Amino acid sequence: MTDWRNVAADRYPTALPQLDAYVELLTTLGVERGLIGPREADRLWERHILNCAVVADLTQGFIPEESSVVDVGTGAGLPGIVWAIVRPDLHVVLVESMQRRVDVLNIAVEQLELSDRVEVVRGRAEDLVGEVVGDVVTARAVAPMGRLLGWLAPLTVAGGSLVVLKGQKVADELTEAAPELAAIKAGSVQVHICGEGWLDEPTNVVQIQDFDPTGLVVAGKRGKPRGAGNRGR
């Protein structure tokens, strides 16, 4: 049986202390507050930590250096907190609508000493257009692709990208999302598989580039940005 913590230690040695602390928080407070199911506690490393971390590897090319990232519907902080830990160059906004999750996220950010570059924002993505914006906007296990595009695209800077972590039905979701992809005039839609050869369940990633962030914006919603995308903070 693979010791997935050892795998993490080999791949992300400098990040291991923070990853350990995050896993400890998820298996205790995270389970207690309902952010993580009890059955997930024993497989956090392979199913959640490494599944997210591999996407942030610079060798993948999904997230440029010094990027601002917005993680929509972050839940327990996946992938946003993991990305912030393994990529200290990133500035991350965690968007979550449920107060009990926001409370735990704020505790995690403080305990993991990420406050200087990770912000927790309570709200729904559709209500934050013009307030939160990022170079890269992401989501994991939140909603079907068509609905996600309406939430994620308007939070992306011009020239930015969407990096969405998806399950095995990704091809079907993209087919069903054809109207939304057309609405944002997506020039590049690619599906990548990350972690093949070392992860038991590699991560499916949809990368969308060269699109119009305003294509699915409700009239009058776009305004002055705040959060990680506002580099003048």
Q: What are 7-59's pLDDT values in tens digits?
A: 999 999 999 999 999 999 999 999 999 999 988 988 999 999 999 999 999 99
pLDDT at 148 over 80: yes
- pTM assigned to the model: 0.92
Q: What are 101-120's pLDDT values in tens digits?
A: 999 999 999 999 999 999 99
Residue type, 211: F
pLDDT band at 218 (very low <50, low <70, confident <90, very high): low
Tokens of 228: 């990680």
Phi, psi of 165 (to 5 degrees): -90, 125
pLDDT at 219 over 80: no
Report the distance separating Cα 140 and Cα 143, nearest Å.
Answer: 8
Q: Which residues of the chain form beta strands (DSSP E)? A: 68-72, 91-96, 118-122, 134-140, 156-166, 188-194, 203-209
| Residue 218: DSSP 8-state | P
Give the number of other CB atoms < 10 A from CB of residue 230: 16
Domains of the chain, by residue range, sit at 4-209
Element (H or E) spanning 207, and its range?
strand 203-209
The reply to whether CATH 3.40.50.150 applies to domain 4-209 is yes
pLDDT at 224 over 70: no
